[in-house]
Amino acid sequence: MPCALNVENLSIRFSGRDGDIAVVDDVSFRLEAGESLVIAGESGSGKSMVCQALLGIVPKAAKVSGTRIDWNGRDLLATTGEAWRAVRGAEIAMIFQDPTAALNPLITVEHQITDAIRAHRKCTKDEARARTIEVLGMAGFPELEHRMKSYPSELSGGLRQRVAIALALSCAPSLIIADEATTNLDVSIQAQIVTLLRRLKDQLGLALIFVTHDLGLAAEIGGKLMVMYAGHAVEQGPVLDVLADPCHPYTHGLLRSAPTLKSSRTNPLQPIPGQAPKPGSIGKGSPFRSRCPVVVGGVCAATRAGWTSAGEDHQVACHRFALDGREGVR
């Protein structure tokens, strides 16, 4: 089966005083057209770095390595400099967390988008304008003709994020990456944006990568879920399977510490004890071992766990699970 995006063994390292520090370590995933992948994890888990690597916008000091990042036949790992321009924005587009920072405050909504279109394809001003109206319409931007002349500062946060989405759609990409794209928005606006992204994915056959720290949002987006911890993927599978039947102690811990609309103090939240390890301090063992309640003595400190199957398409990287199954990690 042809695969739109195939990431194999992606690692991202920074040089430190005592050798290289991996902020993303050996992450692999595949994504087909029309599919969505949610990357969930806390700050410092490396989820944003993975997205940046797909667009070639990692910080200069970062070293990206791996077997391959295959994108429709092009190896993104081998892509450099000007060659990125054919991919970035045109084929893979990104929606950032803060739409205020993502938009140029000095130009109108209309010109933000026509500029992007004209940078990527040869077309007349009128054609660019027509496309701008089309994508703003897709993004649910209201009172188009009149409002597209406004500046970003004249719009609410929700509307600015819709402009950012229209900007991402403008060159008809086949993959959209939304990095915490709804985190700063009010809940009702967030729900609108999530519905919009889901609809665009289905209508346009887009592949979608949605990065979030909110497991509730992950469930609303649907598709596949990859849980990241300290630069490592620890569990992956269909979102609902993973949330209904978590198999990694970290996924368990996240679910126990996240309040839901059903939670009450008779069933207290259980925070994960301790703090995430500093990058570079993990060494060869399991990244979660310092906070894990079900550590396997001697083994977790010495080696990384490989993937163990926990169901159809559902995999978990945990020594305890490999030894004792579901009962062991509960």
Partner 1 sequence: MTGVLEARNIVKTFIVRREGKPHELRAVGDVSLSVAPGEIVGLVGESGSGKTTVSRIMIGIERATSGTVTYNGKPVETRADWRALRRSVQYVFQDPFTALCPTMRIGDALAEPLIIHNMCPRGEVPGRVTKMLETVGLHPDVARRMPNQLSGGQRQRVNLARALMLEPKALICDEIVSGLDVSIQAQVLRLLVELQERLGLSLIFISHDLRIVRYLSSRVLVMYLGQIVEQGPTEAVFDNPQHDYTRALLAAIPDHSRVLAGAA
Closer residue to partner 1 (CB): 111 or 162: 162
Q: Which of 87, 227, 254, 316 binds partner 1 (CB under 8 A)?
A: 254
Give the span between the Cα atoms of 87 and 248, in whole angstroms: 35
Binding mask 33-52 toward partner 1 (x if CB under 8 A, else -) reads ---------xx---------
| Nearest one of 277, 223, 204 to 42, comparing CA atoms | 277
In the chain, the amino acid numbered 305 is: A
When asked if residue 110 is in the footprint of partner 1 (CB under 8 A), the reply is no
Question: Least distance to partner 1 from the beta carbon of 212, Å?
Answer: 9
Helices within the chain (DSSP H only): 47-55, 99-102, 109-120, 125-138, 144-147, 157-169, 187-204, 215-221, 239-244, 249-257, 319-324, 326-329
Give the span between the Cα atoms of 59 and 18, in whole angstroms: 20
Question: Least distance to partner 1 from the beta carbon of 131, Å?
Answer: 31
| Nearest one of 323, 257, 276 to 296, comparing CA atoms | 323
Binding mask 164-193 toward partner 1 (x if CB under 8 A, else -) reads ----------------------xxx-xx--
Give the span between the Cα atoms of 181 and 98, in whole angstroms: 7
Q: Which of 110, 179, 220, 235 binds partner 1 (CB under 8 A)?
A: 220
Q: Which of 243, 247, 296, 300 binds partner 1 (CB under 8 A)?
A: 243
When asked if residue 244 is in the footprint of partner 1 (CB under 8 A), the reply is yes
CB 67, CB 8: distance < 8 Å: yes
Total Cβ atoms within 10 A of residue 198: 17
Binding mask 265-304 toward partner 1 (x if CB under 8 A, else -) reads x--xxxxx--x-----------------------------
When asked if residue 312 is in the footprint of partner 1 (CB under 8 A), the reply is no
Which stretches of the chain bind partner 1, using CB under 8 A? 42-43, 186-188, 190-191, 194, 213-220, 240, 243-244, 253-265, 268-272, 275
